[in-house]
Amino acid sequence: MEPSTSCPAAAPLVKRPFHVLVGVTGSVAALKLPLLVSRLLDIPGMWKCRSDPVLHIDLRRWADLMLVAPLDANTLGKVASGICDNLLTCVIRAWDCRKPLLFCPAMNTVMWEHPITAQQVGQLKAFGYVEIPCVAKKLVCGDQGLGAMAEVGTIVDKVKEVLFWHGDSQES
């Protein structure tokens, strides 16, 4: 999808076209994707349809912001290690680190609490990527604790915040 150049309902958040690429991993939290995309589509003046097929470099060039939601433990490990064996990890590997990349970890509590997870999240932050922290709640597996993907409203608010900040910094 591409942002529209005008929106009769409201002024856009940024003064130039802005593209958001959403990456999805195999986490069960991907069940929230329809709601997340629906809410992102509600951002005034932001979207119109894009129908042409693109590859990882085209996607990297097209997008101004990348959101990986949810980011499962497997993909977290791949990204932290530089592995690029599917479209999502290839886009992330090719990502221009001057542009924002936000990620929303989501995994079982025991996986989240494993020492390697903190190391891998730290590696992504060292790349300049922004973590939208997971939350504690009853997980789909029945466990209670940290590891659930952040709430959709929290994610959308962070995207708006970064869009606003990034839009202002590009005009300077």
Could you list the active site residues?
Answer: 141
Neighbours of 159 (CB within 10 A): 24
H-helix or E-strand spanning residue 55: none
The CA-based dihedral angle spanning residues 30, 20, 111, 152, taken in that order and rounded to the nearest 10 degrees = -60
- Nearest to 75, CA basis, from 132, 135, 126, 117: 117
Q: Torsion-angle region of residue 47: left (phi > 0), alpha (psi -120 to 50) or beta?
A: beta
Q: Find where tokens 């529209």 sit.
A: 4
CA–CA distance, 121 with 74 (Å, rounded to integer): 12
**Residue for token digits 């530089």?**
82
